[in-house]
Amino acid sequence: MEETDASAPAEKTTSKNALKKELKNKKREEERRLKEEEKARQAAGKASSQVQKSAAAADDEDMDPTQYYENRLKYLDAQKAEGKNMYPHKFFVTLSIPEYIDKYGGLSNGEHLEDVSVSLAGRIMSKRSSSSKLFFYDLHGLGTKVQVMADASKSGLDEVEFSKLHSSVKHGDIVGVTGFPGLVWYKCWLICFTFKFIIYL
């Protein structure tokens, strides 16, 4: 009488399950590797764009005044060719910067008066960005200064237009801003949170 190997079919089943498991693991590993590569690519792209932005800002600061002036004129000519009026001749101001500070300097920490609209004008003496959607400016006028915060979400512009507008703002530009007053709680800074930003000289 011949003996049959009862364990043979069980081994085949086990090896099929093991094969499936191995394929699943390989697929998971491949997906994980692709995700990590994509993350690395995005991080590298982000880093290079940050480097380009900071290099452009540094270029403006380090540039010879004559070269800066020539670059600015080229930029303005390009804007005019597109039919844009970069420097409107008029901007209606509701308060001077000293009046704004006197009127709203007494706000408590974190207080924002979003139902109040004010229009200010002055010269940009400092520009900082937290991201492509958030810019901070020191606006100077009549011997005083106020900080202006330009936030893409409050501007009424899409991200591309917002970024384009604020990348064109340079140190020394005279601008008009419309926004609401507020005091930033963590710095005790009086800020004008803008929703309208116009370069007018």
* 2 located within any domain: no
* 74 located within any domain: no
Q: How confident is the model at residue 52 (pLDDT cuts 50, 70, 90)?
A: very low
What pLDDT, in 10s, does the model give residues 130-153? 888 999 999 999 999 999 999 999
Comparing 171 with 62, the larger pLDDT belongs to 171
Q: How confident is the model at residue 88 (pLDDT cuts 50, 70, 90)?
A: confident
pTM score over 0.75? no
| Token representation of residue 19 | 């094969």
Nearest of 196, 17, 164, 190 to residue 100 by alpha carbon: 190
| Token representation of residue 116 | 């109040």
Three-state secondary structure call for residue 47: helix
Question: Same domain, yes or no, for 92 and 165?
Answer: yes
Length of the chain: 201
Which residues have CB under 8 Å from 82's CB, separation 6+?
Answer: none
Question: Same domain, yes or no, for 119 and 29?
Answer: no
Gap between the Cα atoms of 85 and 45, Å rounded:
34
Three-state secondary structure call for residue 15: helix
Residue 45 structural domain: 8-59
Three-state secondary structure call for residue 46: helix
Q: How confident is the model at residue 10 (pLDDT cuts 50, 70, 90)?
A: very low
Number of structural domains, the chain? 2
Gap between the Cα atoms of 72 and 119, Å rounded:
26
Q: How confident is the model at residue 54 (pLDDT cuts 50, 70, 90)?
A: very low
Question: Same domain, yes or no, for 93 and 53?
Answer: no
Nearest of 131, 133, 181 to residue 153 by alpha carbon: 133
Gap between the Cα atoms of 36 and 57, Å rounded:
31
Parallel, antiparallel, or unpaired for β 118-131 and 134-141?
antiparallel
What was the pLDDT predicted at 122?
94
Domain containing residue 145: CATH number? 2.40.50.140
Three-state secondary structure call for residue 161: helix
CB 150 within 8 A of CB 137: yes
Question: Same domain, yes or no, for 111 and 53?
Answer: no
**Residue matched to tokens 């116009």:** 198
- Mean pLDDT, rounded, for 66-73: 84
Nearest of 170, 179, 104, 173 to residue 141 by alpha carbon: 173
Task: Answer whether residue 123 shows pLDDT above 70.
Answer: yes
Query: In DSSP terms, which residues pair with 126 in a beta bridge?
Result: 138
